[in-house]
Amino acid sequence: MDERTWQRIGAWAGIGFFVLSVLATFLYPQPPRPDSDPAVVLRWAHTHRAGLEAGMALGIVAAMSLVWFVASLRHLLARAGAEALSSVVYGSGMALVAVFALGAAPVATLVFMDGQPGGVNDGAVVRLLIDLNQILFSPAAGLAAVLLLAAGIAMLSTKVLPPAVGWAAIVVAALDGIEVVTSLTFSSYHAGLWTVIGWGGYLGLLVMIPLIGIAGLRRPEPAPALAAVTS
C-alpha cells in the first residue's frame, strides 16, 4: 500500500473507533456503583438488556477498528524515523485491543445469564461481574497510557505531526496512568477530582485516536525523490 492509503485507513479507522466507542459507552445508562446491592445491579442489567447487548457488541467492533489504526500509526512513525517508539506503539496498541474487547465480557456475561431460564440467583456472581467491569479499566488505561506516551514522544521528536497533537497525547497518557491506580484501589465510583481524571483519561483516549488519524491524513505528502541526472 502507498503512503496515502495508509493515512486514509488510519483516519477512517480512528473515526470509526471513536463513533463506535461512544455508542458502546452511552447507548445505555451507566451501571450502578460497584458497591451497590447485587439486586440493584441485576435490575439495571435486566431493564437495559437490549442496550447492553448492543453496546458490548459495538465495543468489540470498535476494538477491531483500533487494530487498523494502530497499524497505520506504526507505519507513519516508523517512516518518520521513530523505529523503536513505533514498536512500543504497536505492541501496546495491540495489547489494548485485546483488553478493550475483553472489557465487554463481564457485562455481556451478566446480561447473557439474566436472559437464561432461571436468571441469575447468586448475588456473589453479580458482584464479581460488576467488580470485574471496573477492574478491567486498569490494564486498559495502563496500555492506553503507554500507547499515547510513546506516540506523543515520537511525534515531538520527529515532527511528523503538529506538536500540539503530541503534547495532547502526553497529557491524556498522564490521566490514563493515574486511572490505573484508581481503578484498582477504589471499590466504588471516584468522587470529585477523581471523576474528572477518570472520564478525562477515557474520553481523552477516544478523542486522541481520530485526532491523530486525521492529523496524519492532513499531513503533506513527502516530495518525491529527484531522479539522478545522467549524461
The C-alpha atoms of residue 182 and residue 139 are separated, in whole angstroms, by 11
Burial class of residue 40, CB neighbours in 10 A (0-12, 13-18, 19+) = middle
pLDDT of 227: 43
CB neighbour list of residue 156: distance below 8 Å, 6 or more residues apart: 163, 166, 167
Chain centre to alpha carbon of residue 19: 12
- pLDDT tens readout for residues 33-68: 878 888 999 999 989 989 999 999 999 999 999 999
- pLDDT value at 20 more than 80: yes
What cell was used for 41? 445491579
The C-alpha atoms of residue 229 and residue 3 are separated, in whole angstroms, by 26
pLDDT of 140: 92
The C-alpha atoms of residue 39 and residue 114 are separated, in whole angstroms, by 12
pLDDT band at 196 (very low <50, low <70, confident <90, very high): confident
Percent of the chain, pLDDT > 70? 90
- pLDDT tens readout for residues 120-165: 888 889 989 988 888 888 899 999 999 999 999 999 999 999 999 9
The C-alpha atoms of residue 225 and residue 112 are separated, in whole angstroms, by 58
pLDDT of 184: 77
pLDDT band at 187 (very low <50, low <70, confident <90, very high): low
Single pTM value for the model:
0.86
Average pLDDT of the chain to the nearest whole number: 86
Cα torsion 8, 10, 15, 19 to 10°: value is 130
The C-alpha atoms of residue 228 and residue 231 are separated, in whole angstroms, by 10
What cell was used for 54? 448492543
